[in-house]
Structure 1
């Protein structure tokens, strides 16, 4: 399963901002039954993720795999790499050229090339869920189920502010990836999560608090495996989620999505707050019958979609 991704070449692509790319490499992984022999689930990765969803290094293998909630005996898993995410050889230096919607357009192109006419589900957490919203808005008939987790159809002012700070760190710091990651971890977790984990304990050897040692560790770990250009691009995508941009309104766009929409929020998420999720649900519910809202109960904040897999398992059982 640790095979290299396969690459599709997308030609003559113009981004929303008007930047022209003669070719863009779009790479992907497939897991489970061969394409077109089983229902297909598109999985969108989050900021530091990639198409290696399943297997030894699979970042979501507690949820997806043989005899898991999304069973690779029953479903074909398709996962694209966001071009420029650093997993393949594609590097995008001009990260400001791209928005989340551009990536959604590229994924739709990839789906066409693979001759897929209908997906069973699109699932994604965080920025991956935002891209899922964008795909469904661009192609309202593409999937039976839309499952956005720990995300929303738009980036709020709070999220944009945090992405702005991330960008400042990435462009100005002497240790950009490490420092940006340390700040990001504060948004991915919560005060309660840190208290439960560290409770003000110290590392006597290093003469620092354990929380500091943990943050340093996460910074260094990401620095070893992630490219600066990839971080800048993914942060830019997180900032630009908005299915209503240059369109009538959120409702006009979302009401056209034919899929059953299963919104899953996290009650302690500091990034995509549960109140925004509820508001999205309440607005949609008045105009669309097949929409649900469910909540993960966790002290761990935004990252709970990667931690609380038993709850996620229960919430998704009905769909899969």
Structure 2
């Protein structure tokens, strides 16, 4: 069973900001073993991602598939599209209506609609990891394992600042998607990554630096496949990750869960920094035993969770080996 798409309609959804949506289409895919026949892994997509995580065009098919670390012959893979992410014709024009917690609430509605009582794991990178934290804070017993990668339970001032700049570009540029993407690539990679890749070389055809032609290429590439309203929405979700907003303290929220929390940072991440991940881990260790921290070693910055799949493979193997599944 590979990437079977489906849709659940969420009715009369009121966002945290008080906006009412009479119908929200929540599209999702399942892959691997049929629902309710095996442990279920929920995979949350990142900013420009979608529910297509496995198969030929799957954005995580290095990690998820037959015989791979998250083995589709052992698990059921479930992935939701964040409504408005551009994967369908449904778009959200007023992006300020939504927060990351709203996305988490919508996913929880989907999980309940599918009659899923417990997940084996929730895994996600970047904003997908932030939404995973929000799900656990809302439903402490929903999963056995939480695996946030290159992410955190809150947007830092640094992250909010970059999202603010993204929002300004998206609202004011004559080429909003292209220009916002060019800025974003500076957050997703690192100075060392650019140095290793480009070495200050010049594109002789265009007579510009290769770093410039590469950034321009990424801008144009995203512009061809992405909607402006989707970019604004996903940037807004990234900016609003915070499990404690209008809620209880970090400790009160996470002391309620028995889930094992496996935090994976990236040593060169400029977006969700490893330092913040370590602080989260140390805070959790004060009141929780089954919390773990590991780190991807890479020059490639935030995007390393999509690039260094062999390291990620290694870090996740212990969680997803068949013998670790509780019978």
TM range (shorter): over 0.9
> Secondary structure of the equivalent of 1:287?
coil
Find the counterpart in structure 2 of residue 37 from structure 1.
37
Output aligned runs, 1:106-121, within 5 Å. 106-121=106-121
Find the counterpart in structure 1 of residue 290 from structure 2.
290
**RMSD over aligned Cα, in angstroms?**
0.9
Output aligned runs, 1:74-223, within 5 Å. 74-223=74-223
Structure 1 stretches of 4+ moved >3 Å: 1-4
> Secondary structure of the equivalent of 2:319?
coil
Task: Note if contact 2:3-2:30 (Cα within 8 Å) is conserved in structure 1.
Answer: no
Find the counterpart in structure 1 of residue 242 from structure 2.
242
Structure 1 position 248, deviation (Å): 2.5
Structure 1 position 247, deviation (Å): 1.5
Task: Note if contact 1:31-1:54 (Cα within 8 Å) is conserved in structure 2.
Answer: yes
The unaligned stretches of length 5 or more in structure 1 are: none
TM-score of the aligned structures, taking structure 2 as reference length? 0.97
CA distance in 1, matches of 2:46, 2:159: 15
Task: Note if contact 2:3-2:31 (Cα within 8 Å) is conserved in structure 1.
Answer: no
> Secondary structure of the equivalent of 1:183?
helix
TM-score of the aligned structures, taking structure 1 as reference length? 0.99
Task: Note if contact 1:51-1:79 (Cα within 8 Å) is conserved in structure 2.
Answer: yes
Describe the superposition over 1:111-130 as per-residue Cα deviations: whole angstroms up to 9, x where unpaired. 00000000000000000000
> Secondary structure of the equivalent of 1:292?
strand
> Secondary structure of the equivalent of 2:318?
coil
Task: Note if contact 2:270-2:302 (Cα within 8 Å) is conserved in structure 1.
Answer: yes
Task: Note if contact 1:267-1:296 (Cα within 8 Å) is conserved in structure 2.
Answer: yes
Greater displacement, 121-130 / 246-255: 246-255
Describe the superposition over 1:224-278 as per-residue Cα deviations: whole angstroms up to 9, x where unpaired. 0000000000000000000010122111112212210000000000000001000
Structure 1 position 90, deviation (Å): 1.3
Find the counterpart in structure 1 of residue 15 from structure 2.
15
Task: Note if contact 1:140-1:258 (Cα within 8 Å) is conserved in structure 2.
Answer: yes
Change (3 A) 1:3 1:248: closer
CA distance in 2, matches of 1:161, 1:4: 38
Task: Note if contact 1:259-1:290 (Cα within 8 Å) is conserved in structure 2.
Answer: yes
Structure 1 position 84, deviation (Å): 0.1
Task: Note if contact 1:198-1:211 (Cα within 8 Å) is conserved in structure 2.
Answer: yes
Task: Note if contact 1:5-1:88 (Cα within 8 Å) is conserved in structure 2.
Answer: no
CA distance in 2, matches of 1:17, 1:102: 9
Describe the superposition over 1:130-174 as per-residue Cα deviations: whole angstroms up to 9, x where unpaired. 000000000000000000000000000000000000000000000
CA distance in 2, matches of 1:248, 1:71: 36
The unaligned stretches of length 5 or more in structure 2 are: 321-327
CA distance in 1, matches of 2:88, 2:41: 22
Task: Note if contact 2:65-2:71 (Cα within 8 Å) is conserved in structure 1.
Answer: yes
Structure 1 position 2, deviation (Å): 7.8
Find the counterpart in structure 2 of residue 61 from structure 1.
61
> Secondary structure of the equivalent of 2:115?
coil
